[in-house]
């Protein structure tokens, strides 16, 4: 099958060749083969078959990261830190992230490596801070072009504004309603987005390229890109309208065969799905005591079932850091990596390419995560880019909307920030309808906490609009619905059962709703029914309760399908405007808001 490229590489100076499917689709995958029995001890040894000292093996550097989410500036608070465990067992917290520093680290890592590829595992955009989100993530695409990103898979957040907007980010052009933000039309991505398992319902074909091939001289490495099959369950219905999301394993195995038929035997899969390592330390050894023993979650089953033709998996979505080996279906170890999130880490993987077989000598693969420390020089071109977009955003972003007395973190099963948002939505809903009983907020909709320390010149304790935007960037509305008491109990149980069994989605409750969550149990039993109280009273299964949620949850998002069965709907204002209204009304410089205690859910573990 011949391949042509539809991606414009306007600023590309490297000499590799882009190959894509004839249908204009791209996917990411990796092909895996161990060193042949005839190989010498050193994977870089020369082969007399080629003569002239020509090496049989060529090390290819694969630099990767994931879940950037438009974090061009250094992320604030815990979102901008990583934990390192030292050999003596002590831990150290390191400030990390920011594209000015990421660019410097990647450029330093590439020095001396003529065979170097940079790839990403999705969610480059979406849920972004104001500097990017206000401009529909054009600034992030510009930054990724400057980073010389070669290829990325799509993530679920690439669909926050729908397939047409994703296509615009790929191909360029001014926003259809906001227009052009500068004197120049937006040029689009210099790199291909891969979406092998995202199909147009009408045509049955991938909406973007399913795979892409990097080539330099006689070395070829193919990439297949997929996002998690459950994307429709965690993205608004409008964002995935007209799309069908296929099984990750089935799709990768399909396109691995396509690449094989084209003579591409070295394959890497870019998968926007991830796992949960047993430790949050970025340098945790998740192969202890044995291969893959220290990691769990969806990526484990995916890795175990992807064809051995794929040599390595670059993953994401869970915002975790890991470098593990998980056995493929043939029982051979295969590298699986993830670089946390927000540009705090990058992964450096060495793929040893065998020129005899055209495949990766998998037993020679090495990989490690590296911290994007802030003790290196800032990349001047990134500083210039950030300054340009900050200047445009400043009139909106610098406006004060409230005051806090201390950090309000977005950490824990029940987070102080989640409770604050739920309280804000409950207060607003009571204004719309005094009969409102409670509010529930989805944890994934809370993108950050609020920090006490000033980020700019606004002063300590001041909450700016830009900070509020970082916390709630989705432009959901606050909706009211009626549910029976029995449905309300079912909603709480659906947080921890069904599709949420392995990875619970714990709703953040407004003040007055309390219950016990017993994590020692399984499924619906985790929610102790008799413990559920609203303002101290047990839930009456036959009574009607007025519940406020955002529009994402009101559509049954996060696998909590009963939330999509409410009645007597009332659509309210934008959720960020609601948070701003609450902060403005309930805080001042002399009387700031204190962090909620996050004690509404009693956790048994």
DSSP assignment string, 481-506: EEEEHHHHHHHHHHTSSGGGSSS---
Whether residue 330 has pLDDT greater than 80: yes
Q: Note the pLDDT of residue 569.
A: 95
Average pLDDT rounded to a whole number, residues 270-283: 96
Q: How far, in Å, CA of 205 to CA of 194, rounded? A: 13
What pLDDT, in 10s, does the model give residues 102-128?
Answer: 999 999 999 999 999 999 999 999 999
Whether residue 57 has pLDDT greater than 80: yes
Average pLDDT rounded to a whole number, residues 198-212: 98
Asked whether residue 291 is assigned to any structural domain, the reply reads yes
Q: Which two tokens stand for residue 351?
A: 């793929």
* Whether residue 433 sits in one domain with residue 300: no
354, 310 in Cβ contact below 8 A? no
Domain of 446 in residue numbering reads as 399-604
Is the alpha carbon torsion for 166, 167, 172, 173 positive or negative?
A: negative
How far, in Å, are 298, 361, 507, 551 from residue 571 at the CA level? 35, 57, 20, 8
Q: Strands, DSSP E only, in 328-430? A: 333-339, 345-354, 359-360, 366-371, 400-403
* Whether residue 238 sits in one domain with residue 147: yes
Question: In the chain, how many domains are there?
Answer: 2
249, 304 in Cβ contact below 8 A? no
The SS3 assignment for 529 reads: strand
Q: How far, in Å, CA of 367 to CA of 285, rounded? A: 12
* Whether residue 577 sits in one domain with residue 473: yes
* Whether residue 148 sits in one domain with residue 77: yes
Q: Kindly state the helix (H) or strand (E) to which residue 573 belongs, with its residue range.
A: strand 567-574
Q: Look at residues 348, 369, 390 and tell me which one is the last residue of a structural domain.
A: 369
Whether the bond between 289 and the residue before it is cis, its omega within 30 degrees of 0, is yes
Average pLDDT rounded to a whole number, residues 206-222: 97
Average pLDDT rounded to a whole number, residues 230-259: 95
* Whether residue 251 sits in one domain with residue 134: yes
Whether residue 40 has pLDDT greater than 60: no
Whether residue 478 has pLDDT greater than 80: yes
* Whether residue 466 sits in one domain with residue 338: no
CATH number at residue 279: 3.60.21.10
Q: Look at residues 323, 347, 369 and tell me which one is the last residue of a structural domain.
A: 369
CB burial readout 334-371, b (16+ within 10 A) else e? bbbbbbbbbbbbbbbbbbbbbbebbbbbbebbebebbb
Q: Note the pLDDT of residue 26.
A: 31
Residues 6+ positions from 12 with CB-CB distance below 8 Å: 148, 190
Asked whether residue 100 is assigned to any structural domain, the reply reads yes
Largest CA distance in the chain: 85
* Whether residue 195 sits in one domain with residue 137: yes
Q: Kindly state the helix (H) or strand (E) to which residue 216 belongs, with its residue range.
A: strand 211-216
* Whether residue 412 sits in one domain with residue 350: no
Instruction: State the number of CA atoms in the 13 A half-sphere of 116 facing the CB.
Output: 19
Instruction: State the number of CA atoms in the 13 A half-sphere of 349 facing the CB.
Output: 32
Residue listed under structure tokens 């996917």: 27
Q: Note the pLDDT of residue 53.
A: 55
Whether residue 19 has pLDDT greater than 50: no
DSSP character string of 188-199:
--SS-EE-TTEE
The SS3 assignment for 336 reads: strand
Q: How far, in Å, CA of 469 to CA of 466, rounded? A: 5
Whether residue 548 has pLDDT greater than 50: yes
Q: Note the pLDDT of residue 455.
A: 85
- At 28, the pLDDT band (50, 70, 90 cuts) reads very low
Q: Note the pLDDT of residue 121.
A: 98
Asked whether residue 393 is assigned to any structural domain, the reply reads no
263: left (phi over 0), alpha (psi -120 to 50) or beta: left
* Whether residue 426 sits in one domain with residue 325: no
What pLDDT, in 10s, does the model give residues 373-390?
Answer: 999 999 999 999 999 999
Paired residues of 515 in beta bridges: 601
Average pLDDT rounded to a whole number, residues 420-448: 97
How far, in Å, are 9, 140, 360, 415 from residue 136 at the CA level? 22, 9, 39, 28
* Whether residue 341 sits in one domain with residue 414: no
User: What is the percent of the chain where pLDDT is above 70?
Assistant: 91
Average pLDDT rounded to a whole number, residues 521-529: 97
Higher pLDDT, 455 or 309: 309
pLDDT, the chain, mean: 91
CATH number at residue 528: 3.90.780.10
Question: Which residue in 391, 414, 455 sits closest to 131, CA to CA?
Answer: 391
Measured between its terminal Cα atoms, the distance across the chain in Å is 54
Residues 6+ positions from 289 with CB-CB distance below 8 Å: none
Q: Which two tokens stand for residue 217?
A: 């001289």
Phi, psi of 130 (to 5 degrees): -55, -40
Phi, psi of 278 (to 5 degrees): -70, -20
- At 237, the pLDDT band (50, 70, 90 cuts) reads confident
Phi, psi of 586 (to 5 degrees): -115, 15
Average pLDDT rounded to a whole number, residues 443-450: 95
413, 601 in Cβ contact below 8 A? yes
Asked whether residue 381 is assigned to any structural domain, the reply reads no
Q: How far, in Å, CA of 263 to CA of 277, rounded? A: 35
Q: Look at residues 321, 350, 369 and tell me which one is the last residue of a structural domain.
A: 369
Average pLDDT rounded to a whole number, residues 474-485: 96
Q: Note the pLDDT of residue 592.
A: 98
Asked whether residue 378 is assigned to any structural domain, the reply reads no
Instruction: State the number of CA atoms in the 13 A half-sphere of 272 facing the CB.
Output: 35
Whether residue 41 has pLDDT greater than 50: no
Q: Give the helix ranges, DSSP H, for 60-192.
A: 99-110, 130-133, 138-146, 163-171
Check residue 294 and report its DSSP letter: T
- At 248, the pLDDT band (50, 70, 90 cuts) reads very high
User: What is the percent of the chain where pLDDT is above 90?
Assistant: 87
* Whether residue 439 sits in one domain with residue 318: no
Asked whether residue 4 is assigned to any structural domain, the reply reads no
Instruction: State the number of CA atoms in the 13 A half-sphere of 47 facing the CB.
Output: 15
Whether residue 546 has pLDDT greater than 80: yes
* Whether residue 286 sits in one domain with residue 156: yes
What pLDDT, in 10s, does the model give residues 408-428?
Answer: 999 999 999 999 999 999 999
Asked whether residue 251 is assigned to any structural domain, the reply reads yes
Q: How far, in Å, CA of 424 to CA of 316, rounded? A: 31
Q: Strands, DSSP E only, in 299-441? A: 312-315, 321-327, 333-339, 345-354, 359-360, 366-371, 400-403, 438-441
What pLDDT, in 10s, does the model give residues 158-185?
Answer: 999 999 999 999 999 999 999 999 988 9
Q: How far, in Å, CA of 428 to CA of 575, rounded? A: 10
- At 505, the pLDDT band (50, 70, 90 cuts) reads very high
What pLDDT, in 10s, does the model give residues 63-103?
Answer: 999 999 999 999 988 899 999 999 999 999 999 999 999 99
Q: How far, in Å, CA of 519 to CA of 500, rounded? A: 13
Asked whether residue 10 is assigned to any structural domain, the reply reads no
- At 34, the pLDDT band (50, 70, 90 cuts) reads very low
């Amino acid at each position: 099958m011949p391949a042509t490229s539809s991606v414009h590489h306007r600023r590309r100076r490297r000499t590799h060749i882009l190959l894509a499917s004839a249908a204009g689709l791209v996917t990411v995958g990796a092909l895996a083969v161990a060193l042949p029995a005839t190989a010498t001890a050193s994977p870089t040894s020369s082969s007399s078959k080629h003569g002239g000292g020509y090496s049989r093996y060529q090390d290819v550097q694969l630099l990767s990261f994931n879940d950037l989410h438009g974090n061009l500036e250094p992320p604030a608070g815990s979102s901008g830190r990583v934990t390192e465990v030292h050999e003596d067992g002590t831990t150290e917290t390191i400030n990390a992230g920011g594209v000015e520093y990421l660019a410097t680290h990647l450029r330093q890592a590439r020095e001396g490596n003529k065979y170097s590829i940079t790839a990403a595992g999705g969610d480059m955009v979406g849920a972004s801070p104001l500097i990017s989100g206000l401009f529909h993530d054009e600034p992030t695409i510009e930054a990724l072009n400057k980073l010389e990103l070669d290829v990325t898979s799509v993530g679920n957040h690439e669909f926050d504004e729908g397939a047409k907007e994703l296509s615009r980010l790929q191909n360029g052009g001014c926003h259809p309603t906001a227009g052009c933000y500068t004197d120049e039309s937006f040029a689009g991505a210099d790199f291909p987005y891969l979406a092998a398992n995202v199909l147009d319902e009408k045509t049955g074909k991938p909406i973007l390229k399913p795979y892409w091939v990097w080539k330099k001289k006689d070395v070829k490495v193919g990439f297949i890109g997929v996002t998690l099959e459950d994307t429709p369950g965690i993205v608004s219905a409008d964002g995935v309208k007209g799309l069908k999301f296929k099984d990750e394993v089935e799709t990768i195995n399909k396109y691995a065969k396509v690449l094989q038929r084209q003579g591409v035997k070295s394959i890497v899969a870019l998968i926007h799905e991830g796992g949960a390592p047993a430790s949050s330390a970025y340098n945790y050894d998740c192969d202890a005591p044995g291969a893959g023993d220290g990691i769990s979650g969806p990526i484990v089953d995916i890795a175990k079932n992807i064809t051995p033709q794929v040599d390595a998996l670059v993953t994401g979505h869970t915002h975790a850091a890991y470098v593990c080996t998980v056995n493929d279906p043939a029982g051979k170890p295969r590298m699986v990596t993830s670089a946390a999130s927000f540009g705090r880490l990058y992964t450096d993987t060495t793929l040893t390419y065998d020129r005899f077989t055209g495949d990766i000598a998998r037993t020679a693969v090495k990989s490690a995560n590296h911290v994007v420390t802030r003790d290196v020089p800032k990349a001047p071109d990134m500083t210039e880019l950030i300054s340009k977009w900050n200047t445009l955003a400043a009139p909106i972003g610098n406006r004060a909307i409230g005051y806090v007395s201390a950090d309000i973190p977005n950490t824990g099963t029940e987070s102080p920030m989640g409770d604050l948002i739920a309280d804000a939505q409950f207060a607003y809903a009571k204004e719309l309808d005094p009969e409102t009983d409670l509010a529930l907020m989805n944890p994934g909709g809370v993108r950050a906490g609020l920090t006490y320390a000033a980020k700019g010149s606004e002063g300590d304790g001041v909450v700016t609009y830009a900070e509020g935007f970082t916390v709630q960037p989705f432009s959901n509305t606050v909706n009211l619905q009626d549910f029976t008491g029995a449905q309300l109990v079912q909603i709480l149980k659906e947080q921890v059962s069904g599709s949420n069994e392995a990875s619970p989605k714990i709703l953040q409750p407004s003040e007055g709703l309390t219950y016990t969550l017993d994590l020692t149990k399984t499924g619906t039993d985790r929610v102790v029914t008799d413990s559920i109280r609203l303002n101290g009273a047990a839930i009456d299964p036959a009574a009607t309760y007025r519940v406020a949620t955002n529009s994402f949850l009101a559509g049954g998002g996060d696998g909590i399908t009963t939330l999509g069965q409410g009645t007597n709907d009332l659509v309210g204002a934008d959720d960020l405007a609601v948070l701003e209204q609450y902060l403005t009304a309930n805080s001042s410089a002399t009387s700031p808001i204190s962090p909620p205690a996050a004690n509404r859910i009693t956790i048994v573990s």
